[in-house]
Structure 1
Amino acid sequence: MTAVTARALIRTEAADGGRTRLETLRSDPPLTLRQTGPRRVHLVSTGAGPLRGDRLDLEVDVAPGTSLEVRSVGATLVLPGLADTPSVMVVRARVGAGATLHFSPEPTVLAAGCAHRLVVRLSLAEDATVFWREEIVFGRHGERPGRGHARFDATVAGRPLLRQDLLVGEEAVDGSPAVYGDARCVGSTLLAGPAWAPPAVPDVKRERRAVLGDGWAALPLAGPGVQVCALGADAVQLRERLRRGEEAAGASPASGPDGSHGTPGAETGGLDP
């Protein structure tokens, strides 16, 4: 079986009246893009996989002053395939000055026998705003997960905001009660932008603190951002826990580019003291 290489590009531009226009929407199967709203794009899987050996690249360029929401129609099922090399999904996103990006695809399911690498490189301008959610499910029902390695790098104006590695399917990691325990899903959300910036001058009254809940935590970052992390027994529980953490961190439940659920609300000021 021949490995698949696919590329997709989303690029916005500012239109009259402060509107956002999708300037470029280009994709190759199975990484297919569909515009589903004035500022909304859905990823549609038009083929199986990814399978071992496949390489998928998604580039997102949000122009200054514009807004974009990226979702997916369904979960991504990563399959074994016959190649010796892992499948790779690389997402590069640039968010310009005063722009907003909401990125929340459905979960990635690591089927038994797969080997997958997910790489995210996110670059924000100084006053850009981002809501970025990722969810990983450890195999289909009743099976052990394949191997997955997720790398996430986010910068603001060239300065590091978050660097994270996540491993799944490694015996030393999966078997540790200090890592996943008996959870079957893991997820995280990055909320970044001026609304989550630490005070310019240290102030005890405005000090940002972590918020902990049942199976989730909202953790302030050193820069203008908060990371929400959660574990769950299934995808439904994981999503609910992430949403609780997102709301605790200051994400408005209905203030996205198109009034959608879960995009950051600039009117909030980060974590509760």
Structure 2
Amino acid sequence: MTTTGVRAHARIAARADGRGGTLLPVLDGAGPLALRRVRSTGAEARVMVVGAMSGPLGGDRLALSASVAEGARLHVGSAAATIALPGQTGDEARYDVRLDVAEGAELHWLPEQLISAGGSDLYVTTRAELAAGAGLVLREEQVLGRAGEEPGRLTSRLTVRVAGRTVLDQELSCGPGAPGGWDGPAVLAGHRAVGQLVVVRPEFAERPVQAQALGECAVLIPLAGPAALVSAVAPDALRLRGLLDEARSLLAA
């Protein structure tokens, strides 16, 4: 296995300050993952992930973890889209996200899109571990190729566990070398933007959401436990965001 590429692990920790707000005792950026606290109101702390260099490139091993302690409220976004690019060696890049949310805490994980540029090869994993009574809003968006460009290889795995129970574990692989059919009618149907929205709310345990189609290209389904999933495809990133924003508003009602 090659040892080329950047190795970096950025970390965020949030805890309640005892006065109705949220502190960030740990805010450590690394490599291309710079972390900045931005202005917020109320109990929520806000963090922006800022790209300090190009990446992920082939051969990179990047990780980002966020831990939200009991009673804390954290919102994490990103300043711009993340672009997976080919490296000098053609090796696979990895980007691993780990989220831990304690009982009575809430995390909004809302980064910008991940773009799979031509010639790139990226395996990205997002794993969220929630205690009973925790809340989560997680948006994940992938765009296959820049304008007029064929995509690279992109594999994305999303796992969500609540109180030790897996409520979602799915993987999608697209682009050159991916299993056949990824671009066919059963998966993306020729679309080049795909996204998921996962919402975990304690009240969903007693009042699960109702499965429904959200137009022609999105669907809302209940998950086991206090969670719901929206899956959507669209021709481009702008229309995908519109679908997921509408779904997010629906689930917040």
TM-score band, normalised by shorter chain: over 0.9
TM-score relative to the length of structure 2: 0.92
Distance 1:19 1:207, change over 3 A: closer
| Distance across 2 between alignment mates of 1:236 and 1:144 | 18
Q: Which amino acid is the alignment partner of residue 41 of structure 1? A: V
| Distance across 1 between alignment mates of 2:164 and 2:101 | 12
Root-mean-square deviation over aligned CA pairs: 1.5
Alignment deviations for residues 148-176 of structure 1 (CA, whole Å, 9 cap, x no partner): 11111111111111111111112613331
Q: Which residue of 1 aligns with 2:245?
A: 243
**How much does 1:76 deviate?**
0.4
| Distance across 2 between alignment mates of 1:207 and 1:160 | 17
Q: Which residue of 2 aligns with 1:209?
A: 210
Q: Which residue of 2 aligns with 1:178?
A: 186
Count residues in correspondence: 244
Q: Which residue of 2 aligns with 1:196?
A: 204
Secondary structure of the 2:145 match is coil
Q: Which residue of 2 aligns with 1:202?
A: none
Q: Which residue of 2 aligns with 1:71?
A: 77
**How much does 1:42 deviate?**
0.4
Map 1:22-171 → 2, pairs under 5 A: 22-38=24-40, 39-169=45-175, 170=178
Q: Which residue of 2 aligns with 1:256?
A: none
Greater share of residues in strand: 2
Alignment deviations for residues 236-265 of structure 1 (CA, whole Å, 9 cap, x no partner): 1001111222233x22xxxxxxxxxxxxxx
> 2:128, 2:159 within 8 Å by CA — same for their partners in 1?
yes
> 2:208, 2:222 within 8 Å by CA — same for their partners in 1?
no
| Distance across 2 between alignment mates of 1:8 and 1:211 | 37
> 1:218, 1:246 within 8 Å by CA — same for their partners in 2?
no
| Distance across 2 between alignment mates of 1:173 and 1:167 | 10
Distance 1:68 1:207, change over 3 A: closer
| Distance across 2 between alignment mates of 1:51 and 1:134 | 20
**How much does 1:183 deviate?**
0.8
TM-score relative to the length of structure 1: 0.86
> 1:187, 1:231 within 8 Å by CA — same for their partners in 2?
yes
Secondary structure of the 1:11 match is strand
**How much does 1:211 deviate?**
1.4
Q: Which amino acid is the alignment partner of residue 114 of structure 1? A: S
Percent of aligned pairs sharing the same letter: 39
> 2:114, 2:141 within 8 Å by CA — same for their partners in 1?
yes
| Distance across 2 between alignment mates of 1:132 and 1:207 | 18
> 2:12, 2:28 within 8 Å by CA — same for their partners in 1?
yes
Alignment deviations for residues 177-216 of structure 1 (CA, whole Å, 9 cap, x no partner): 221112110000000120322x3xxxxxx67421112211
Distance 1:47 1:195, change over 3 A: same
Distance 1:113 1:99, change over 3 A: same
| Distance across 2 between alignment mates of 1:172 and 1:70 | 35
| Distance across 2 between alignment mates of 1:96 and 1:117 | 27
Q: Which amino acid is the alignment partner of residue 246 of structure 1? A: R
Distance 1:183 1:36, change over 3 A: same
For structure 1, the 5+ residue unaligned runs are: 200-205, 252-267, 269-273
Structure 1 runs (4+) deviating above 4 angstroms are none
**How much does 1:10 deviate?**
0.3
